[in-house]
Copies of this chain bind each other. A is one copy, B any other.
Amino acid sequence: MAKVMIIGAGGVGGVVAHKCAQLPEVFTEIVLASRTESKCKVIAAQLPRPVSTAQVDADNVAETVALLKREKPDLVINVALPYQDLAIMDACLEAGVDYLDTANYEPPEEAKFEYKWQWAYQDKFTEAGRMALLGSGFDPGVTNVYTAYLKKHYLDEIHYLDIIDCNAGDHGMPFATNFNPEINIREVTANGRYWQDGHWQETAPLKENRSFDFPAGIGPKQIYLMYHEELESITKHLPEIKRARFWMTFSDNYLKHLEVLGNIGMTSIEPVEFEGKEIIPLQFLKALLPDPASLGPLTKGKTCIGCIAQGVKDGVKKTYYIYNICDHQECYAEVQSQAISYTTGVPAMIGAKMMLEKKWAGAGVWNMEQLDPDPFMDDLNQYGLPWQVVEIDQPTGMEK
């Protein structure tokens, strides 16, 4: 008998609500809260059983505390904006509620992916006897658990880790973004960064790239080295790792559009004087592009996210690849969201289930790889994100 509050009513919030609603034996009561309560009501109307909704400005700690004290949930699932993580953690501490999120805190005005702000809450959560589970999405989240699982069952030591995120879906539009195009641009134009022998190495944007042959009929795609937040926690908690990298697929078409839009100044946030009005080009671009929510029913194809770990077992060098294949159309049929939201929302539900069932417990702030991977991995198979481990004995191109 547990009550959960989901804060955030975007694509991921919808998936979390659907998946929690499917498990009434774990999530007895569900509250959906958002700045815009009407978005919660739209999601609620899709669900197989009644849930309640609430309005909350999660930037306002006092307002969130008041809602938490009124609703008395056992756990908050934070799938709001990453800018709001600290305010919601503060509210949970004050109201005495456990906390879970899917993406680490970013200061509003800079794209800085670092755990330092949330790790600084370690003592507060420990003293309060509360648990905070960080990054319980797919990447970060499942990728951390995959790594812990390989370490527990397949390798005594992991020396080289490559996390590879492939979206082989096609929405049929010439160009559209799954989320804020500015964030996309910043990701793509930022330097890459990876862990090598105890230090971070930087690479020029998109410089490190290669072709990788994905399973399940997806075939070869170009992958690009980027920084991603789970690299920070995994290399901290598995200090034996000599090199850890994160790769993402981008189609040539996608990169072409981002390049041109950047070239003509369309991604700028500097206002332009136009017909007596100040217009921010990026805002106007958003108005031209398809609404990301409209892409769900259009998107076909698969995602493939996984980890390749090279290491040793009983003194012998071994390489394993562990991954999930997710189908956009199957996700949409089940929860009215495509696979990008689905692969983030399902692990949030499972992380919450781990906490409510006390399979994962303990006061303090936790990253996913610090906890026992086995029950989480079982639930991935059971609740929509089945995985497989294959031993690699042929070159994959990821050896160097």
Contact = CB atoms under 8 A, between A and B. Distances in A.
Interface residues on A, range: 20 to 34
Nearest to A273: B287
Contacts of A264: 174-175, 257, 261, 285, 288-289
A23 to B, nearest CB: 41
Interface in A187-224: none
Interface string A229-264: 000000000000000000000000000110011011
Interface stretch (A102-110, A276-284, A376-384): A276-284
The interface centre, meaning the residue of A260, A273, A274, A284 with most chain B CB atoms within 10 A of its CB, is A260
Contacts of A261: 260, 264
Interface in A145-178: 174-175
A129 interface: no
A392 interface: no
Contacts of A263: 174-175, 257
Contacts of A269: none
A183 interface: no
A312 interface: no
Nearest to A257: B260
A272 interface: yes
A285 B274 CA distance: 10
Contact of A265 (B274, B279, B288): B288
A288 B272 contact: yes
Contact of A266 (B266, B273, B275): B266
Nearest to A279: B284
A173 B289 CA distance: 25
B281 A266 contact: no
Given A257-B260, A266-B288, A275-B277, 8 more contacts: A174-B264, A175-B260, A264-B288, A264-B289, A272-B287, A272-B288, A274-B287, A281-B288
14 contacts: A175-B263, A257-B260, A264-B288, A264-B289, A266-B288, A272-B284, A272-B287, A274-B279, A275-B277, A275-B279, A279-B279, A279-B284, A281-B288, A284-B284
Counting from the closest, the 3 A-B pairs by CB-CB distance are A174-B263, A260-B260, A265-B288
